[in-house]
Amino acid sequence: MEPVELPDSANQEEEEEQMGRDEESDAPLIPGKSSATQIADFYDLLLSKLGVTFKLLLIVFCSGIGLLSDTLEIMSISFAKDDISKQFKLSRLEESTLAGVLFAGMLLGGLVWGRAADIYGRRRILLISLSMNGTCAALSALSTSFSMFLLARFFSGIGWTAWRVYLLLCSIPSLLAVLLYFFLSESPVFLIQKGRNLQALEALRRFAPNSSDISQELGQLKRVLEDENMVTSASERLECHAVIKEFAMGVVELFSGGLLKITLILIAVILPVHFGYYGFMLWFPEYIKKQSNSSGEILSEDYVYRESLYVSLASLPGNLISVLLTDVVGPKLILCVSQVLSACSVFLLWKFNSPDQTVLLTCLFNAVTAPIFNMVDVLIPALYPTQSRGTAFGFHCALIRIVTIAGTSLFSMFIDSSPTAPILLTAILLFSSALVSLAVPKITSISH
């Protein structure tokens, strides 16, 4: 009788266990150190040995697409507002709700999904929130009434005319990210923190390259977990009252102990930037039209949409620079320099008098501002522990939506006035944020 071949994963697991037994068959746990500490050390060693793998790059790519979808959701309304207003014959008050309802959904979504990610896992919550985002964004493009449109935009925030095509295209990144996330595992670090060691081992095995060192470490780790009776698949079901308590306690933790100072500093850094940035980005398309009317220049119907593409692409150089320099000079320096450059670039608006020149300035502004948002995304996971990162992201995002609503409302009052007020306000906010950034703790490494 021919021997039965085991599946590749089973063979790999058996080899890892054998290598672990061969290497450490007689080695007890180190005296004087708790088993939990030694297990944590094993995990840290494994994570450091994994390095950059294809699946890690795929996660980075998926995260980038998710971030792109979030940005497009916000920007799309600014550029499509006039066409939507004409389509549904909206009043000024109704126009103001276009962006407001999206940010209201994002406010609720940030609080709910952020904490839920710390309880139920990053992958699961990303799948749910991005699915809702992409589906509702697409539905908003097919809306036949303003109330239906607002409802779709609200739930989109919660993660055939020109404007309809534009909004449909803006929904694609969310749906693409959902498709890609189906092929990825849950975060091993999250599973470790939750005590779901069996699932953490499996996730590490999927991430690991075919390396004898990695296989050996996996075998040793599994043996230690089995010896300590810690190879379990912990349940994550919670009663309703326990879920509510978890959400409340998660926010309270951000203002407790050593996290209080970090939370207050980040609030003072993040909020002025978003208040000024989104207010300015809402105001500038209207300013372009005002310049066009003043000069008698006639803009094509798709001018605003083409310029929105240019402005979005302008952030690419800033993104690339921040990626290349973050590990070299650190996120704090990049954050401060980008804030100062952004504030300085706004003043150039006084020298530009045509729509094309204003678009060029806005591209420059977007390019030097992009690293700010990237560094904020680096600082939050670096400054908060794993068990609080999702909550921290959600909390800060909720605050961002509040100031964004306030910023867009305030800047809408400047549309019919001179550019002096929005220029000075945006520059002051960015400069003040840069000063506070000097108090951000220096990042040396991200603890697991």
> In this predicted structure, what is the pLDDT of residue 353?
73
Residue pair 222/17 in contact by the 8 Å Cβ criterion:
yes
Cα–Cα distance for residue pair 113/392, rounded to 1 Å: 11
Contacts 24+ apart (CB under 8 A), 359-362: 359/288, 359/307, 359/310, 359/311, 362/281, 362/284, 362/307, 362/311, 362/314
Please say whether the dihedral angle defined by the alpha carbons of residues 327, 332, 333 and 337, taken in this order, is positive or negative.
positive
> In this predicted structure, what is the pLDDT of residue 336?
94
**What is Dmax (Cα atoms) for the chain?**
90
Per-residue pLDDT band for 40 (boundaries 50, 70, 90) equals: low
Q: 192, 186, 181, 183: which is closest to 159 by C-alpha?
A: 181
Q: Is the pLDDT of residue 374 over 70?
A: yes
Tracing tokens 């909020």 back to the chain, one arrives at 271
Q: What is the mean pLDDT of residues 345-362?
A: 81
Cα–Cα distance for residue pair 413/96, rounded to 1 Å: 11
Residue pair 109/129 in contact by the 8 Å Cβ criterion:
yes
Q: In the chain, what percentage of residues exceed pLDDT 70? A: 71
Per-residue pLDDT band for 375 (boundaries 50, 70, 90) equals: very high
Q: What is the mean pLDDT of residues 102-123?
A: 78
Contacts 24+ apart (CB under 8 A), 120-125: 120/236, 121/186, 121/187, 121/190, 121/191, 121/236, 122/186, 122/187, 122/190, 122/390, 123/181, 123/184, 123/185, 123/186, 123/187, 124/186, 125/390
CA atoms within 13 A on the CB side of 435: 6
> In this predicted structure, what is the pLDDT of residue 188?
76
Burial 186-202 (b: 16+ CB within 10 A, else e): bbbbbbbbbebbbbbbb
> In this predicted structure, what is the pLDDT of residue 334?
93
Q: What is the mean pLDDT of the chain?
A: 75
> In this predicted structure, what is the pLDDT of residue 324?
87
Q: In the chain, what percentage of residues exceed pLDDT 90? A: 12
Cα–Cα distance for residue pair 128/294, rounded to 1 Å: 47
Q: What is the tens place of the pLDDT at every residue in 229-252?
A: 555 555 555 555 666 677 778 888
> In this predicted structure, what is the pLDDT of residue 30?
46
Q: Which of 14-28, 93-107, 146-160, 400-414 has the lowest mean pLDDT?
A: 14-28
Cα–Cα distance for residue pair 111/106, rounded to 1 Å: 9
Cα–Cα distance for residue pair 103/107, rounded to 1 Å: 6
> In this predicted structure, what is the pLDDT of residue 236?
55
> In this predicted structure, what is the pLDDT of residue 58?
79
Cα–Cα distance for residue pair 310/288, rounded to 1 Å: 14
> In this predicted structure, what is the pLDDT of residue 372?
93
> In this predicted structure, what is the pLDDT of residue 157?
56
119 or 8, which is more confident?
A: 119
> In this predicted structure, what is the pLDDT of residue 195?
73
How many Cβ atoms from other residues are within 10 Å of residue 211's Cβ?
A: 13
Cα–Cα distance for residue pair 329/376, rounded to 1 Å: 15
Q: What is the mean pLDDT of residues 364-388?
A: 89
How many Cβ atoms from other residues are within 10 Å of residue 36's Cβ?
A: 11
Cα–Cα distance for residue pair 315/348, rounded to 1 Å: 18
Q: 273, 283, 444, 275: which is closest to 374 by C-alpha?
A: 273
Cα–Cα distance for residue pair 348/362, rounded to 1 Å: 10
Residue pair 397/254 in contact by the 8 Å Cβ criterion:
no
Task: Bin 32: left if φ > 0, else alpha if -120 < ψ < 50, else beta.
Answer: left
Specify the DSSP class assigned to residue 272.
Answer: H
Q: Is the pLDDT of residue 281 over 60?
A: yes
Cα–Cα distance for residue pair 444/441, rounded to 1 Å: 9
Per-residue pLDDT band for 214 (boundaries 50, 70, 90) equals: low
Residue pair 371/321 in contact by the 8 Å Cβ criterion:
yes
Compute φ and ψ for 210, nearest 5 degrees.
Answer: -75, 90
Q: Is the pLDDT of residue 4 over 60?
A: no
Q: What is the mean pLDDT of residues 338-355?
A: 85
Among 139-153, 172-186, 226-240, 382-396, the range of highest mean pLDDT: 382-396
> In this predicted structure, what is the pLDDT of residue 79?
64
> In this predicted structure, what is the pLDDT of residue 99?
64
Cα–Cα distance for residue pair 87/94, rounded to 1 Å: 13
CA–CA distances in Å: residue 117 to residues 102, 236, 308:
21, 12, 32
Q: What is the tens place of the pLDDT at every residue in 159-190?
A: 465 566 667 777 777 888 888 888 777 877 77
Tracing tokens 């590490």 back to the chain, one arrives at 204
Amino acid, res. 430:
L
